């Protein structure tokens, strides 16, 4: 295979510090061909500086490798045109040289691409200086009109050496430059014999350039020129000013070029916040001074000075005398014998109000913590114009006092004087006074007092026992003391007392802290179900004893039918609400509390959410036995012989039951009048309402089940039982807590409620009126259970 060599290398020029690409054509001539190996060589080195190896793998997965000097700067890119160029980013001086790219194809013969890289090193940015060698930047001058100007420009370095020229905007001023070989510098000096008015703000630029690729490096200076101001005048919008109110003065300087430097003064004080503007023709400079005059400015003279600081004796000024009205300036003086406003409890103090005002004040008042003070001899307060006397001060007089003086400009208030009343320690309010402590475990008890001065020494003691010295230690800092107490015996529980003392005296009443045993919290008390709807309910309890520790409460809601937890809440107080519950569903509610020692007993109850208006109570199934007809037919067919025997037995049983029923009916009829009178269920009297006529339709069934107990009680079970108003004397008990509202059961779960009639003997007859929807009537006596289906309203004897 014959290699292809280029006739002439491609010359590539790169700028040092920028990115440069060296070409290499790796595009195959045939579609089914691809490069297998790409090698880059520099100068005459036999070792490649960059390798792209795809001999055993697809070309788009080729392995890249380079020499250490190019590790982070070289990369072969596939998105160049043509692809395969070697990018150097950035290029450095050492990269200059001859490069060869060798491409070995899988089918095509080897291809070479030669290139020559020429690296251009940019010169440094031109530096402009004056004839004294001072570096000049941006605005230079100002120069007086008619003065000469000499500017020196020099650029250092660069390969090749740059050219250096002077320009005024786009006009070439000077292209004569010289090279200093030893220092590798290029210098060009611009000289202007006489500056004229049109040279004001002229932009003079020095350009250094050594290639046609990059933009030239430019340094520019702007010439400023001076002219003396001719006229200065001051204008004001009023004759008198109010202290504290914004005032604007205007000063105009005419004839100064460039703009005159205008300054404002009062005697020896200069204003720093003035703003200036220059007219379009540059002949008038206007300065605006906005300030708030103070009381010290009254009667002073304000000056407007316009000058050109580069021209000797160029200052021109105009003056104006200020008249300032201001609110009173007030200060409070304390007696000389007091270094600070500190008074011991029970002593007297006198405060003086000093006022400076123009015009004079019309009123002086004293303030205490923002409230106006008036003479009150019973409280020891005496106000006499400029003076305030406080007699027999106590802690209530501690605070900030100010003096307020008023004139036509307003009210002036003094800096507050903090009056400190020295007093012995007293207990600080709203601090924890009950601490729970386990036996043989230390606790920290905090004792906080108020005192002036705050340097307090403390003493602790236990009022209920004398052998606790080894169990009590404490540390103090100013008005706080922390005692560490360990109850070692049961009688160590009681009250800890804390006393404080400062230089004024000892604490009169100690701070008392009760230490009690800790344990698990008490079960939540008096829990009730409130606001029960079809989808929500609320539980409200009272907090039990916390066990001497902080307690929290847990509320859990379980779906009884599904046996799953549907809600779980934790709170600081036993008040909970559960939302998003299923209508007509029975739930188990649990509430309990816990602390660091454990949890309390659990309060539980079962409650059902109400039915939706769209839900209906299903009618009782009557034809339950129809599903068994095929079985019965089969049994009859197979056991035909047994049917006759069963019929004979049934006839005998029926005959015996009929006789027994007749005997019980006779006994029931004899005691019916007395029994109906004892339970008062007849329809006599105005207070009685038949159960079928009650307005509550949530319980159409009256007695789904009746059960007798060993002591003769009879229980009536119903979805919801409502008794007549005049039947309150009947002795009854409910299987649920009487404090809770009876929940309405879900359609798919039967929740019986029980009413009990006491005082009945076993085996006694009773007539019960049953409404149509009662599915079954059950009679339970020891040794026998009998169920009777109920399909219509009737009187049933049991």
Give the angle 560-565-571 at the CA atoms, nearest 5°. 125
Handedness of CA 126, 129, 131, 134 (dihedral sign): negative
pLDDT at 305 over 90: yes
| pLDDT of res. 636 | 61
Domain end call among 573, 608, 643: 608
Which of 203, 57, 81, 224 is closest to 140 using CA atoms?
Answer: 224
Question: Is 384 domain-assigned?
Answer: yes
Tokens of 622: 């009557």
Same domain, 762 and 626: yes
The larger pLDDT score, comparing residue 772 to residue 476, is at 476
Q: How confident is the model at residue 303 (pLDDT cuts 50, 70, 90)?
A: very high
Helix (H, G, I), strand (E, B) or coil at 684: coil
pLDDT at 340 over 80: no
Question: Is 435 domain-assigned?
Answer: yes
pLDDT digits (tens, 9 = 90+) for 632-644: 556 666 676 777 7
**What distances in angstroms separate CA 491 from CA 154, 494, 547, 586, 638, one per listed residue?**
98, 7, 17, 50, 86
Q: Identify the weakest region by mean pLDDT among 96-110, 384-398, 468-482, 735-749.
A: 735-749
Same domain, 146 and 240: no
**What distances in angstroms separate CA 568 from CA 87, 208, 605, one per listed residue?**
66, 80, 15
Name the E strands within 391-530.
399-407, 410-413, 417-427, 434-437, 443-452, 457-462, 472-477, 480-485, 494-501, 511-517, 525-530
Same domain, 399 and 458: no
Same domain, 695 and 754: yes
Owning domain of residue 60: 10-120
Residue that is written with structure tokens 């030669």 in the block: 114
Q: How far apart are CA 481 and CA 357, in angstroms?
A: 51
Helix (H, G, I), strand (E, B) or coil at 504: coil
CB atoms within 10 A of CB 588: 15
Which of 712, 704, 711 is closest to 754 using CA atoms?
Answer: 704
Q: What is the maximum span of the chain, computed from C-alpha positions, in angstroms?
A: 153
| pLDDT of res. 196 | 86
Q: How confident is the model at residue 726 (pLDDT cuts 50, 70, 90)?
A: very low
Tokens of 587: 């739930």
pLDDT at 223 over 70: yes
Same domain, 571 and 699: no
Q: How far apart are CA 731 and CA 519, in angstroms?
A: 42
Q: How confident is the model at residue 336 (pLDDT cuts 50, 70, 90)?
A: low
Q: How confident is the model at residue 615 (pLDDT cuts 50, 70, 90)?
A: low
| 522-527: long-range pairs with CB below 8 Å, 24+ | 522/546, 522/547, 522/593, 522/600, 523/592, 523/593, 523/600, 523/601, 523/602, 523/603, 524/553, 524/574, 524/591, 524/592, 524/593, 524/600, 524/603, 526/739, 527/574, 527/591, 527/603, 527/605
pLDDT at 515 over 80: yes
Same domain, 445 and 535: no
Instruction: Count, in order, helices (H) and strands (E) of the chain.
Output: 2, 60
Q: Mean pLDDT of all residues in the chain?
A: 77
Q: How far apart are CA 174 and CA 164, in angstroms?
A: 9
| pLDDT of res. 127 | 93
Q: Report the chain's C-alpha Rg in angstroms.
A: 55
pLDDT at 404 over 80: yes
565 preceded by a cis bond (ω within 30 of 0): no
Chain centroid offset of residue 277 CA: 48
CB atoms within 10 A of CB 348: 13
Decide: residue 797, CB within 10 A, 0-12 exposed, 13-18 middle, 19+ buried. middle
Helix (H, G, I), strand (E, B) or coil at 471: helix
pLDDT at 206 over 90: yes
Same domain, 201 and 137: yes
Domain end call among 295, 322, 349: 322
| pLDDT of res. 1 | 43
Question: Is 469 domain-assigned?
Answer: yes
CB atoms within 10 A of CB 785: 9
Same domain, 719 and 735: yes
Average pLDDT score over residue span 367-388: 89
Q: How far apart are CA 99 and CA 44, in angstroms?
A: 9
Same domain, 312 and 332: no
Same domain, 500 and 569: no
Decide: residue 222, CB within 10 A, 0-12 exposed, 13-18 middle, 19+ buried. middle
The 3-state secondary structure of 409-429, one letter per residue? CEEEECCCEEEEEEEEEEECC
Q: Identify the weakest region by mean pLDDT among 147-156, 439-448, 621-630.
A: 621-630
Domain end call among 365, 381, 409: 409
Same domain, 185 and 235: no
Tokens of 492: 């160590």
DSSP 792: S
| pLDDT of res. 605 | 93
| pLDDT of res. 541 | 95
| pLDDT of res. 257 | 81
Residues of the chain above pLDDT 90, percent: 22
Question: Is 355 domain-assigned?
Answer: yes
Number of domains comprising the chain: 7
pLDDT at 232 over 70: yes
pLDDT digits (tens, 9 = 90+) for 489-514: 777 788 889 999 998 889 889 999 98
Q: Identify the weakest region by mean pLDDT among 154-168, 513-527, 545-559, 620-634.
A: 620-634
* Confidence (pTM): 0.35
pLDDT at 527 over 90: yes
| pLDDT of res. 620 | 44
Question: Is 613 domain-assigned?
Answer: no
| pLDDT of res. 398 | 83
Q: How confident is the model at residue 553 (pLDDT cuts 50, 70, 90)?
A: very high
Q: How far apart are CA 628 and CA 626, in angstroms?
A: 5
**What distances in angstroms separate CA 658 from CA 260, 668, 771, 782, 787, one per listed residue?**
135, 15, 24, 22, 16
Average pLDDT score over residue span 755-769: 46
Which of 80, 96, 124 is closest to 12 using CA atoms?
Answer: 96
Same domain, 624 and 700: yes
Q: How confident is the model at residue 789 (pLDDT cuts 50, 70, 90)?
A: very low
pLDDT digits (tens, 9 = 90+) for 263-285: 998 878 888 888 989 898 888 99
| pLDDT of res. 632 | 58
Tokens of 434: 């009950």
Q: How confident is the model at residue 341 (pLDDT cuts 50, 70, 90)?
A: low
Question: Is 415 domain-assigned?
Answer: no
Question: Is 341 domain-assigned?
Answer: yes
Tokens of 267: 């005697």
pLDDT digits (tens, 9 = 90+) for 161-175: 888 999 998 899 999
Question: Is 637 domain-assigned?
Answer: no
| pLDDT of res. 386 | 87
Which CATH number characterizes residue 459's domain? 2.60.40.10
DSSP 159: B
Average pLDDT score over residue span 23-35: 86
pLDDT at 762 over 50: no
């Amino acid at each position: 295979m014959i290699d292809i060599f280029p006739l002439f290398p491609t010359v590539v020029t790169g700028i040092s510090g920028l990115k440069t690409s060296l070409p290499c054509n790796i595009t195959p001539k045939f579609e089914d061909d691809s490069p297998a190996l790409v090698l880059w060589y520099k100068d005459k080195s036999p070792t490649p500086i960059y390798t792209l190896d795809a001999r055993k793998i697809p070309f788009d997965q080729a392995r890249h490798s380079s020499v250490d000097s190019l590790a982070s700067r070289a990369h072969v890119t596939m998105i160049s045109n043509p692809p395969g160029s070697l990018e150097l980013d950035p290029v450095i001086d050492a990269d200059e040289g001859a490069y060869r790219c060798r491409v070995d194809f899988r089918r095509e013969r080897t291809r070479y691409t030669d290139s020559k890289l020429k690296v251009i090193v940019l010169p440094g940015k031109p530096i402009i200086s004056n004839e004294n060698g001072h570096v000049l930047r941006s605005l230079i001058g100002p120069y007086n009109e008619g003065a000469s100007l000499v500017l020196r420009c020099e650029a250092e370095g660069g390969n090749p050496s740059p050219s250096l020229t002077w320009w005024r905007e786009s006009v070439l001023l000077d292209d004569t430059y010289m090279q200093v070989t030893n220092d590798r510098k290029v210098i060009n000096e611009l000289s202007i014999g006489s500056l004229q008015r049109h040279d004001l703000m002229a932009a003079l630029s020095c350009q250094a350039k050594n290639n046609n690729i990059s933009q030239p490096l430019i340094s520019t200076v702007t010439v400023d020129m001076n002219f003396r101001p001719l006229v200065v005048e001051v204008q004001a919008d009023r004759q008198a000013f109010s202290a504290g109110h914004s005032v604007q003065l205007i000063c105009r300087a005419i004839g100064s070029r460039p703009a005159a430097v205008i300054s404002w003064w009062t005697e020896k004080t200069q204003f720093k916040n003035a703003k200036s503007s220059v007219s379009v023709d540059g002949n008038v400079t206007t300065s605006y001074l906005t300030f708030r005059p103070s009381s010290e400015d009254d009667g002073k003279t304000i000056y407007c000075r316009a000058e050109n600081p580069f021209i000797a004796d160029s200052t021109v000024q105009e003056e104006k005398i200020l008249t300032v009205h201001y609110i009173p300036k007030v200060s409070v003086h304390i007696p000389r014998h007091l270094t600070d406003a500190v008074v011991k409890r029970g002593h007297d103090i006198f405060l003086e109000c000093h006022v400076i005002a123009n015009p004079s004040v019309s009123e002086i008042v004293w303030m205490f913590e923002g409230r106006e003070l008036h003479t009150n001899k019973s409280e020891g307060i005496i106000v006499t114009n400029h003076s305030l006397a406080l007699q027999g001060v106590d802690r209530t007089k501690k605070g900030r006092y100010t003096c307020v003086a008023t004139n036509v400009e307003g009210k002036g208030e003094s800096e507050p004087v903090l009056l400190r009343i020295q007093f012995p320690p007293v207990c600080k309010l709203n601090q924890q006074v009950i601490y729970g402590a386990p036996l043989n475990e230390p606790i920290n008890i905090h004792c906080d007092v108020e005192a002036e001065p705050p340097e307090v020494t403390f003493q602790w003691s236990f009022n209920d026992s004398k052998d606790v010295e080894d169990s009590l230690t404490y540390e103090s800092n100013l008005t706080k003391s922390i005692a560490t107490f360990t109850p070692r015996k049961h009688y160590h529980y009681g009250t800890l007392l804390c006393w404080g003392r400062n230089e004024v005296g000892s604490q009169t009443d100690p701070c008392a802290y009760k230490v009690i045993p800790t344990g698990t919290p008490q079960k939540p008390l008096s829990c009730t179900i409130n606001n029960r709807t079809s989808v929500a309910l609320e539980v409200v309890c009272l907090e039990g004893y916390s066990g001497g520790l902080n307690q929290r409460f847990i509320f859990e809601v379980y779906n009884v039918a599904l046996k799953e937890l549907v809600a779980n809440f934790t709170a600081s107080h036993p008040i909970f609400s559960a939302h998003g519950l299923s209508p007509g569903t029975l739930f188990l509610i649990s509430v309990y509390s816990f602390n660091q020692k454990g949890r309390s007993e659990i309060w539980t109850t079962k409650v059902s959410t109400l039915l939706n208006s769209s839900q209906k109570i299903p009618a009782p199934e009557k034809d339950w036995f129809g599903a068994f007809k095929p079985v019965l037919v089969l049994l009859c067919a197979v056991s035909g012989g047994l049917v006759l025997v069963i019929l004979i037995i049934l006839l005998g049983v029926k005959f015996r039951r009929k006789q027994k029923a007749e005997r019980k009916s006779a006994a029931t009829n004899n005691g019916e009048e007395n029994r109906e009178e004892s339970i008062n269920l007849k329809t006599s009297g105005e207070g009685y309402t038949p159960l079928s006529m009650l307005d509550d339709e949530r319980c159409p069934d009256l007695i789904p089940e009746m059960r007798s107990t060993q002591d003769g009680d009879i229980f009536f079970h119903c979805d919801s039982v409502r008794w007549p108003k005049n039947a309150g004397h009947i002795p009854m008990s409910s299987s649920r807590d009487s404090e809770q509202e009876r929940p309405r059961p879900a359609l798919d779960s039967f929740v019986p409620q029980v009413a009990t009639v006491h005082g009945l003997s076993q085996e006694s007859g009773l007539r019960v009126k049953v409404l149509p929807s009662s599915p079954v009537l059950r009679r339970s006596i020891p040794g026998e259970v009998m169920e009777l289906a109920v399909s219509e309203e009737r009187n049933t004897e049991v």
